[in-house]
């Protein structure tokens, strides 16, 4: 079979790139029969590729950029790319990370994102609970055992840990309030991660200011910082108000630390997959009672490591290649059906 050239929606991975993207790119490059073309304006508009794979198409649009002129240039680039894909009938594969359009997308950006959606030939979902229109295939999010290899910290009894970007929907304010209602002075809470706004820093700091058991670090975490923080914890707490796919959950259990997360069907499936004792859940708003119950459950005997055998990266590379070939075959079928039939000579 011929080599499949895949244009990705991200550039060449850098040290600050989402580890999921970096590890997936490595897996794709290790898969025979595939060539990865990192995104750039030149590659997208003038390069040679047979399939496009989108993750967060809003990154192509410069969503969140501060300068209007910069965003406008990105919109024009996206429109030209979409026109090329439409005319050339290039198949588009989309990994569904988020189930809704970005809340801060403008009207123009939403139009372009919907255009990307209409061109999508096949969708990759990270769990069986993701609902989407059109053909889709589940490829589980790979584990992080081979990524987070920095020095581990000794586990601190009673340490509760939050890691990751501090945003409103992640419920960090509720975590601090719930923790403060726990009377046990042997417990500590550490919150580590960059905040999305100064307003949120002020809010969380005000909630925690007179409880010496709470420590706050509103800084970007390097990989080694994350490993040190997670492995120092007896329980990682992720009190999201909404959780569908979470790389942070997988980071924690890849580092052999149990987590407390919202009770959702996705998390219930993950708990069944990885084995007992690793995924603990709460319903509704997080409470002090839920924290204490999860910590007690996390102290029960469990396997030395969770079962992550279904999340090997080389398996993911082969699965992606199969989907790219499927998308190409469907595109070829559409072209044949759209082509005018030649008349038989008499």
Do residues 311 and 141 lie in contact, with contact meaning Cβ atoms separated by under 8 Å?
yes
In a domain, 147, yes or no: no
CATH classification at residue 111: 3.40.50
Residues 294 and 318 in one domain: no
Q: Could you give the CA distance from residue 164 to residue 250 in angstroms, rounded to a whole number?
A: 12
> Measured between alpha carbons, how far is 279 from 259 in angstroms, rounded to an integer?
5
According to the model, what pLDDT value does residue 202 have? 96
CATH code for the domain in which residue 241 is found: 3.40.50.2000
Q: Extract the tokens encoding 192.
A: 């580590």
Q: Is residue 150 part of a domain?
A: no
Which residue positions in the chain have pLDDT lower than 50? 335-346
**Residue 341 has what pLDDT?**
41
Structural domain count, the chain: 2
Same domain? For 136 and 210 the reply is no
Residue 148, in any domain of the structure: no
Q: Are residues 251 and 327 in the same domain?
A: no
Same domain, yes or no, for 117 and 182? Answer: no
Q: Is residue 34 part of a domain?
A: yes
Same domain, yes or no, for 62 and 179? no
Q: Report yes or no on 189 lying in a domain.
A: yes
77 located within any domain: yes
**86 and 132 inside one domain:** yes
> Residue 14's Cα: distance from chain center in Å?
17
Name all contacts of 183-186 with Cβ < 8 Å and 24+ positions apart. Answer: 184/158, 184/292, 185/213, 186/157, 186/158
Structure tokens at 118: 């209409």
Residues 289 and 316 in one domain: no
206 and 280 assigned to the same domain = yes
pLDDT given at position 58 = 78
pLDDT of residue 98: 76
Closest by CA position to 280, among listed 288, 141, 264: 264
Distance CA 60, CA 69 (A): 15
User: Is residue 344 situated within a structural domain?
Assistant: no
- pLDDT value at residue 106: 66
User: Residues 318, 291: one domain?
Assistant: no
* Per-residue pLDDT tens over the stretch 302-312: 999 999 999 99
Structural domain that includes position 33: 4-142+312-338
Q: In this structure, is residue 151 part of a structural domain?
A: no
Question: Do 165 and 129 fall into the same domain?
Answer: no
């Amino acid at each position: 079979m011929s080599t499949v050239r895949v244009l990705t929606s991200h550039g060449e991975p850098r040290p600050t790139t989402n580890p999921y993207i970096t590890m997936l790119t490595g897996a794709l490059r290790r898969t025979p029969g595939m060539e990865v073309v990192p995104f750039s304006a030149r590659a997208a508009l003038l390069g040679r590729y047979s399939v496009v794979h989108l993750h967060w198409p809003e990154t192509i649009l410069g969503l969140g950029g501060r300068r209007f002129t910069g965003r406008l240039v990105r919109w024009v680039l996206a429109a030209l790319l979409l026109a090329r894909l439409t005319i050339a009938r290039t198949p588009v594969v989309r990994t569904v990370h988020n189930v809704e359009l970005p809340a801060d997308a403008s009207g123009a950006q939403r139009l372009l994102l919907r255009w990307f959606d209409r061109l999508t030939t096949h969708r990759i979902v990270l769990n069986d609970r993701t609902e989407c229109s059109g053909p889709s295939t589940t490829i589980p999010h790979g584990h992080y055992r081979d990524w987070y290899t920095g020095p581990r910290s000794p586990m601190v009894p009673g340490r509760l840990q939050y890691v990751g970007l501090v945003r409103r929907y992640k419920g960090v304010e509720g975590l601090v309030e719930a923790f403060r209602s726990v009377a046990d002075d042997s417990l500590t809470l550490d919150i580590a991660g960059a905040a999305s706004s100064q307003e949120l820093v002020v809010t969380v700091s005000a909630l925690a200011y007179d409880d010496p058991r709470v420590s706050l670090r509103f800084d970007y975490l390097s990989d080694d910082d994350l490993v040190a923080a997670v492995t120092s914890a007896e329980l990682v707490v992720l009190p999201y108000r909404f959780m569908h796919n979470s790389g942070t959950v997988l980071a924690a259990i890849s580092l052999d630390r149990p987590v407390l997360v919202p009770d959702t069907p996705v998390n219930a499936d993950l708990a069944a997959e990885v084995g007992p004792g690793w995924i603990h859940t709460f319903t509704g708003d997080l409470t002090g009672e839920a924290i204490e119950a999860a910590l007690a459950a996390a102290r029960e005997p469990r396997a030395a490591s969770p079962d992550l055998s279904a999340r090997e990266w080389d398996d993911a590379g082969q699965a992606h290649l199969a989907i790219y070939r499927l998308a190409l075959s469907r595109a070829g079928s559409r072209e044949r059906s759209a082509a005018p039939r030649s008349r038989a000579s008499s």
